Structure 1
Amino acid sequence: MTKLPDDISLDAGVEIAIRQDLTLVALGKRPADVALRVGRLLDVATRTWKSDQEIVIKGRRIAYIGDAGSYPGEVAQRVHEPDLAAVPGLGEVHKHIESSHLTPEWEAALVLPRGNTWTCEASHEFSNVNGAKTLEFWLKARAAGSPLKIFPLPGSAVPPTGYEHGGGWLGYDEQRDFLRQSLMTAGLDEVMDWPAVWNPANPSYDRLWGMIRATFEQRGVVEGHAAGIRDLPSINAFAAAGLASDHEAYTVEEFWDKLTHGLFMELRPHNLAEVVTGLLERGLKDWSQIALTTDDRSASDTLKLGATDYNVRLAIEAGLAPEIAIQCVTINPARHMRLTPWVGSIAPGRYADIVLLSDVESFRIAKVWADGKQVSDGTKYLPKVPKIDWPEWATKTINIGRDLTADDFAIPAEPGRETMNAAVLRPFHWADDFLTFELPVVNGLVQRDENRNITKFSIIDRFSGQGAVSKMFWLGCGPRTPETALACSMAHDKHNIWCVGSSDAAMAKAVNAVAANDGGWALVHDGEVVATVRYEVAGLMSCRPAEALHDEMQQLYAAGEKVDWMYEPTFQARWSPGFPERLAFATLTCAPWRWVLVAPSDYAPQGFVNVQTGETHPVVF
């Protein structure tokens, strides 16, 4: 039997050899490895079901599709699933695997049994930690034998704005080289810094347009991020810039306006039902410019809800025909990302990635095949997870330079002042200006005011080793409980360490605990570290099973329930009372944010900057 070359990753030379062989296998002139016979098969190109079909596989690829018994060649193994319906392996058009907080090989073990066989990795998380190693990191698990296909999109937001630094810098040369190195590289990750795209005076203008140019030159896809862009002139400008997609539309009207102006629309779960219902009411017939996407989901939530299969079930429950919902996670995203030669359909030449359903209407998954082999039975993952000893460039990414002390978080007042005015932000502060409060001064230091829900928030530079700390006052978040603080090394999107606390000493202790673990979470309660979660890879992920990470997170949540957390509603409906986990997203600096706190720099020594205008301001005055 002819042995195919190794196609664990995509290489043009290998691809030709594989397809030459598949051509002869399809004609029956060379033997196949497996014939998988199924009761029904969904052809996503025509949205039709075919009965009693045979999927003939050679190596990791499909060679032939047809009625059972029609294949003219020899087959080494036959598998018959008469009661199951076959649909293509599900794909993620836009996902941050880092938000599962699992390394890629353990992400595969989590999501493959839930139907997700390929992912377009939006890598501005890891890219911001170690930009130069972006491609090497995302291809390592596949090279080690993981069946999950990860198509990396290097981060456009490295750094997220021209007012941030550390962890790497990606521009024209870097993006061009990533695209040339591997066919797995699908394009450019979501362009988030809209002011830098339209405004030639912005310090990131040349860098971003350089990355866009490099992507166009290599015929990659430029993914967009149109948060807060709702007026028609801006939508037109966004599309004209070549930013091909958006996953940030909240209302049906916004979604429709962007869809009808040429954007490929990626629909996330939190508003999926509302938008699907609204589009059906508008009579939308052609859903080919729409994909269902996850964006961010923790391992704990995936264990509870599912992966891409959860998105499909939500769409079906909202009234979308199952066949259309399946197109929205298979052929639609594959076409958009220009990956149809390899994924998105059950068709010759594609990877033999097949989801077998016991019930289509409820999208109940019985088994999953990937790379021509069965990889799950129910939610049980069958292959052995490859052991990867992640190198230090991936594991030793926290470099504060020293242990921090309470003095690092103190905010001095002007001499002789009994009160000071303070610039104050609140989570998801999409306002043109910051808030201003008068705060007391004690022993020369500006104080928190828990009676008005005002506490201290900080960003700690974890890249330069200079022990640089920015700090200011925030409203409606953080602990009211004395000597308590929460710190985390996941801080979208620069991923410096953030910390919120009721005392400076507690904040220092929490940050030092995060650093000692090479990243993750740390909760200090009544002056003692009571819970930690380890993200030892890039300060974002952990190399272990999802269940083990979930258990550790539950211990953190349980410890957090003993803390009195401040709360005030804000602009974001997903900001809720209790453990303030979403503070990790409140550190975003992309549109529609205005005033933000970033790590100190020569440009903004106190770290307080308006990313729309470049204006800086003292944190107290």
Structure 2
Amino acid sequence: MEYTPFPSWPDTAPRLIAVAAGREAADTVIRGGIWVNVHSRETLPDHDVAIIAGRVAFVGPDASHCIGSETRIIDARGRYMIPGLCDAHMHIESGMLTPAEFARAVIPHGTTSMFTDPHEIANVLGLEGVRLMHDEALMQPVNIFTQMPSCAPSAPGLETTGYEITPEDVAEAMSWPGVIGLGEMMNFPGVINGDPKMLAEIAATQRAGKTVGGHYASPDLGSDFSAYVAGGPADDHEGTCEADAIARVRQGMRSMMRLGSAWYDVKSQITAVTEKGLDPRNFILCTDDCHSGTLVNDGHMNRVVRHAIACGCDPLVALQMATINTATHFGLEREIGSITPGRRADIVLSSDLTDLPIETVIARGRVVAENGEVAVDCPHLNWPAKARDTVHLGHELTSTDFEIAAPTGANRVRANVIGVVENQAPTQALQADLPIVEGLVEGEGDVCQIALVERHRATGGVVNAFVSGFGYRGRMAMASTVAHDSHHMIVVGTDRDQMALAANRLAEIGGGITIFRDGEELALVELPIAGLMSDSPATEVATRAEQMVKAMQVCGCHLNNAYMQHSLLALVVIPELRISDLGLVDVRTFKKIDLLEPLS
């Protein structure tokens, strides 16, 4: 299916004017609803909305003059007419779904616009992978805008990716339809230090008049932060406390507050608005990462808005943060984000502003969902064979590949250990004194092994280390080819034989997630596209993901959304300690460190 561009406002202006003036009949009129006006922050009862060619032509107390014999009437009496919800920062791949299936999953939740950074697939397939994501996104019945990934690798010199993104790639992508800007600039040390490559990517984006996404994952709000802001990033979603949110908006950035499957950063930051009284127009809500189970069972941006309201935010302010604030930030205030003349007719009908039940969803003037059921097709791209053949280990792994040799003559050894933090992206840099058995260092207590298995170039490389916080017991292992951002393979386990079984299983099926215990596979989520996504329906992927969560619990892990923690253990741009194909990385200093240290 070819992409058909949505008609521009200038192309439809004559018809919009004719309908508003009563000279032409509207395609659709929504009657008698409560107009949620996010420009004036008001709710105005008994209003009508007239729609023509997918755009709003008229909003007022009476649209009778816009109605003809063929006009569809939607009765909205007693219901709020809310602008379609916008997700300002997200990664479709984190849902383990292709853009088509992601859209199908979120449309019933009222999301009609997404600003997505496909940097996960960029690490695996490069610019070609970004183009595939971009092309399928443009085929959907809702608005999916693409941010060209900026950092593959995310931290040059500390990891090896399948492909690298260059300034030339960024410049090319800026000419594609639907590309709205540059994806999150994760290499914040590069920006701070004036790295020519990073600055060239930012410059290419700014020359195109588009928005540069930020990612400042550091608690330092001093001169380094100022240097990063001066470098051009216009927003940031890595804040975790009120001071982070305040610092960002004071320096002219938009503070993006996220509620994903495992990131709960709204409650700790929204007090900048609810208690400190800062101007809410520079605060934006987003998800960042949501897996399929969250989308199917809990919701998407409707979940984030409800959460913000539960945290004390005025419902109208929360809705602004998920509609007009986002549109304005990306220069799309005249296209999306409000129910006003000329804008795309993206409208949600709901009977309550606090609980926010999503009853009817209209996108581009069409009813796309009713009472939780999708009412339109979400077309699929024909993904090429190359995108389905991305797991190359070099050789069949055995337990020997996961051995950690001990220093000669030692009985115990001190190890640097990655500490998982529940509901947070950052980890802790811990140390543990571990036993030595037959010349090998062994995990003990809550400390188990983690391995980063190279899967892009078939090098056969395996980097071993230790992680704590999962609570695993017995002989088990969990492996995933979703390993932000380099997306090699992460294997965590208490037994080396199980680790080898899990890794080889994913090589066999072409990518995904698996859990083994005592030689038995307890759960499997197949992700054949780039080892990151499935083109199966979201409900099917969510069911398999739920089985995965249950299997993790059977193995002793009871953290909230622990899979998200697992998949981020190789993200070498978020402190404190991570693993990469090049070794153990201290993200506080952006330097590799030794796994083992002598006991003092």
TM-score above 0.5: yes
Shift of 1:67: 3.2
RMSD (CA atoms): 2.8
SS in 1 for 2:515: strand
Q: Any gaps of 5 or more consecutive residues in structure 1?
A: 1-5, 568-575, 601-606
| 1:96-111 alignment, distance < 5 Å | 96-111=91-106
1:253 aligns with 2:243: yes
* 2:204 pairs with one of 214, 217, 239: 214
Question: Where does residue 137 of structure 1 map in the other structure?
Answer: 132
* 2:345 pairs with one of 323, 344, 352: 352
* Cα 1:428–1:191 shift into 2, 3 Å: farther
Q: Which amino acid aligns with 1:116?
A: T
| 1:38-437 alignment, distance < 5 Å | 38-69=32-63, 71=65, 74=68, 76-81=70-75, 82-144=77-139, 146-162=140-156, 163-182=158-177, 184-200=178-194, 205-269=195-259, 270-277=264-271, 279-284=273-278, 286-413=279-406, 417-419=409-411, 421=413, 423-428=415-420, 435=431, 437=433
Shift of 1:48: 2.4
Question: Where does residue 512 of structure 1 map in the other structure?
Answer: 504
Shift of 1:173: 0.9
- TM normalised by structure 2 equals 0.90
- Is 1:38–1:85's contact at 8 Å kept on the other side of the alignment? no
* 2:522 pairs with one of 511, 521, 530: 530
- Is 2:18–2:24's contact at 8 Å kept on the other side of the alignment? yes
Shift of 1:479: 3.5
- Is 1:422–1:473's contact at 8 Å kept on the other side of the alignment? no
Distance 1:247 1:301 in 2: 20
1:563 aligns with 2:555: yes
SS in 1 for 2:280: coil
- Is 1:88–1:330's contact at 8 Å kept on the other side of the alignment? yes
Q: Which amino acid aligns with 1:297?
A: C
* Cα 1:175–1:418 shift into 2, 3 Å: same
* 1:488 pairs with one of 460, 480, 485: 480
Shift of 1:219: 1.1
Q: Which amino acid aligns with 1:379?
A: G
* Cα 1:581–1:169 shift into 2, 3 Å: closer
* Deviates further, 495-504 or 297-306: 297-306
Q: Deviations over 1:10-48 (max 9, x none)?
A: 68xx66434455445544555542222242212221122
Distance 2:236 2:349 in 1: 30
Distance 2:449 2:471 in 1: 8
Shift of 1:171: 2.2
Shift of 1:84: 2.1
1:582 aligns with 2:589: no
- Is 2:405–2:441's contact at 8 Å kept on the other side of the alignment? no
* Cα 1:620–1:555 shift into 2, 3 Å: same
- Is 1:113–1:377's contact at 8 Å kept on the other side of the alignment? yes
Shift of 1:387: 4.3
Distance 1:476 1:281 in 2: 34
* Cα 1:225–1:75 shift into 2, 3 Å: farther
Distance 2:351 2:561 in 1: 39
Question: Where does residue 553 of structure 1 map in the other structure?
Answer: 545
* Cα 1:591–1:556 shift into 2, 3 Å: closer
Q: Which amino acid aligns with 1:559?
A: A
The percent identity for this pair of structures is 28
- Is 1:61–1:372's contact at 8 Å kept on the other side of the alignment? yes
Q: Which amino acid aligns with 2:436?
A: P
Distance 2:313 2:191 in 1: 36
* Cα 1:101–1:7 shift into 2, 3 Å: closer
- Is 2:419–2:427's contact at 8 Å kept on the other side of the alignment? no
Question: Where does residue 579 of structure 2 map in the other structure?
Answer: 597
- TM normalised by structure 1 equals 0.87
- Is 1:403–1:512's contact at 8 Å kept on the other side of the alignment? yes
- Is 2:390–2:530's contact at 8 Å kept on the other side of the alignment? yes
Distance 2:593 2:357 in 1: 54
Shift of 1:418: 4.6
Q: How many corresponding residue pairs?
A: 586
Q: Which amino acid aligns with 1:167?
A: G
* Cα 1:117–1:288 shift into 2, 3 Å: same
Distance 2:585 2:243 in 1: 32
* Cα 1:10–1:471 shift into 2, 3 Å: farther
Q: Which amino acid aligns with 1:66?
A: G
* Cα 1:330–1:528 shift into 2, 3 Å: same
Shift of 1:506: 1.4
Q: Any gaps of 5 or more consecutive residues in structure 2?
A: none
Q: Which amino acid aligns with 1:562?
A: V
Distance 1:75 1:190 in 2: 49
Q: Deviations over 1:188-212 (max 9, x none)?
A: 1111222111124xxxx22211111
Q: Which amino acid aligns with 1:187?
A: G
Shift of 1:149: 1.2
